[in-house]
Amino acid sequence: MAQSGKLFLFPVPIAEGKLCGVLPSLNAELLAGLTLFFVEKTRTARRFIRILCPEKDIAPIRFIEIGKRCDPSEIESGLKAVAQGASAGILSEAGCPGVADPGAEVVRKAHRLGIEVIPLIGPSSLLLALMASGQNGQQFAFKGYLPRRDDELRSELKRLGERIARTGEAQLFIETPYRTQKLFETILTHCAKALLLTVASNLTGEGGFVRSYSIEDWRKHRATLPEVPTVFILGK
């Protein structure tokens, strides 16, 4: 029986800038030897590969898309190839594959097939934000995207506030860049003034910042946030 290949999880930069500042050289060495990738979007995956490995021939590469409109049979076919000995990589659009990312389902299926899964080092906006927040790094939970409907969002923020008061657990969540300001203002309007809010924007990128203030202090500033990837952390 042929030995299974390996499934490498390649983090992708979370902000525009030089790759050498956020990705180790090992990632490029491993990526250069692969011709099979599971990706969210082929176009951006091609661009990332060209930047990380400029001498690599793109033509022979097989890209299998794993986003909302993926072809399950293509994913199964790709994993079958890995199980039979061909190593592959997963590329997120930004950050770490499998974290708030459709790569998680591919990884789950790989484990079922006995494929070795190897996570590689790279930027994670969630951990970078938590590191720089001063919030509870012993107890924290990632909530992904909060509800978009105003009434549901207010209810969810209330539940998060109650959980923070009860457990001290920091609550991490994200939002699309164009909705960042609206979420920020809703938090300031409806959360208790004593809660600690961290805003971490465009981490590792130009103009990136992390600020942690109480809701009461944030209300005094009423900042306008840039339309860039942002992590929010609520805690005490």
Question: Residue 62 falls within a domain, yes or no?
Answer: yes
pLDDT digits (tens, 9 = 90+) for 191-205: 999 999 999 999 998
Instruction: Give the number of C-alpha atoms closer than 13 A to the C-alpha of residue 43, restricted to the C-beta side.
Output: 0
Sorting pLDDT into bands at 50, 70 and 90, what band is 206? Answer: confident
Q: Which of 60, 85, 119 is the last residue of a domain?
A: 119
Could you list the residue range(s) of the whole structural domain that residue 75 is in?
A: 6-119
- Asked, for residue 1, whether it belongs to a domain, the answer is no
Question: Each residue of 42-101: pLDDT tens digit?
Answer: 999 999 999 999 999 999 999 999 988 889 999 999 999 999 999 999 999 989 999 989
Inter-residue contact 158 to 195 (CB < 8 Å): no
Instruction: Tell me: do 31 and 77 sit in the same domain.
Output: yes
For residue 108, give both structure tokens: 């789950």
For residue 23, give the CATH number of its domain: 3.40.1010.10
Read off the pTM: 0.89
Among residues 17, 23, 61, 20, the alpha carbon closest in space to that of 9 is found at 23
| Residue 198 forms part of a structural domain | yes
Q: Last residue of some domain: 119, 154, 173?
A: 119
What are the tens digits of pLDDT across the range 158-177? Answer: 999 999 999 999 999 999 99
| CATH code, 202 | 3.30.950.10
Whether residue 72 is contained in a domain is answered as yes
Single out the residue in 102, 119, 136 at which a domain terminates: 119
